[in-house]
Amino acid sequence: EVSIYGRGKLLMEGTSGNPVEIVAATDRPWGCIGLQGPGSAGSRFRHLKVSGGSVGQFRGIRFKGMVNVYTSSDLVMEGCQVGPNQVGDDAVNLADTEAVIRNCHWSGARADGLDLDRCQALIEGCTFSSCANDGLDLMSSQVQLRDSTFTDCGDKALSVGEASRLVGRKLVATGCPTAVLVKDSSQAALIEARLEGNQLAVDCYQENWLYPRGGSALLWKVELAANRRELQADKASFIELCQTSARTLPEAHVSQQPSSLWSDLIADQQGQ
């Protein structure tokens, strides 16, 4: 299997009319792209079309996705098309990395489309369709998500876990078993979003006892339409509805303006 590994800056920059394409030459998968370390800061993936890859290992580091960047900063992905990966959990896996991801499209990922572990990221104008597991999976990450669409994911459109903090504005999630999951001391503020035609719109719970709380979700000006179930939360979790019409639970708090619980989260993300 052919892979691209590096500890320095990687520039893969095409144009909309002439993209960089990395695909399998045969019916067998190729390896992966794996960048690691502070020397890879400033890497750029622009107008990259990538599919048919797998996973890899280099100098003791296991790369679990088709495209991987670990322990880096100032990463930019823009205008990329990420197709199905043949082996591995993630189409794209970022860890301990600061990234800006704009106008990228994920389609047909073998499991998760984009997996962020301990990252800080701005994700804007992206689409996630037909990912077999989650469209976007967050672990211990801080993310600002804007103007993005999730359709027909096999499990969750958006999974916010392990003390992650998310502000999501103008999102659309349709046709998923669960649109948004928030768990294990994570906070997610959804603002002007539309969750439609899902089995369950929002689910909050405590899964891992190492985290003292479940999930906390704010739905502010969110449209809930044609979901089989709208809200679900366990006793360790909290859902707040602000200018949002929903079939409420005992755990749901209804308000006209977000409570002070959300002030720091929203202010922090606006400052990014």
CATH of the domain at 77: 2.160.20.10
Domain boundaries, position 204 = 72-270
**DSSP class per residue in the chain:** ---EEESS--EEE--SSS-EEE--SSSS----EEEESGGGTT-EEESEEE-S---EEETTEEE-EEEEEEEEEEEEEES-EE---SSSSEEEEEEEEEEEEES-EEES-SSEEEEEES-EEEEES-EEES-SS-SEEEES-EEEEES-EEES-SSEEEEEESS-EEEEES-EEES-SEEEEEESSEEEEEES-EEES-SEEEEEE---TTSSS-EEEEEES-EEES-SEEEEE-TT-EEEEES------TTEEEESS--GGGHHHHHHHHT-
Domain-embedded: residue 136: yes
Q: Does residue 18 register a pLDDT over 80?
A: yes
pLDDT bin (cut points 50, 70, 90) of residue 269 is: low
Domain-embedded: residue 26: no
Q: Does residue 225 register a pLDDT over 60?
A: yes
Quick: pLDDT tens for 44-87. Answer: 999 999 999 999 999 999 999 999 999 999 999 999 999 999 99
Q: Does residue 248 register a pLDDT over 80?
A: no
pLDDT bin (cut points 50, 70, 90) of residue 126 is: very high
Note the pLDDT of residue 260.
Answer: 87
Note the pLDDT of residue 270.
Answer: 56
Domain count, the chain: 1
Domain-embedded: residue 140: yes
Domain-embedded: residue 108: yes
Q: Does residue 255 register a pLDDT over 60?
A: yes
Domain-embedded: residue 42: no
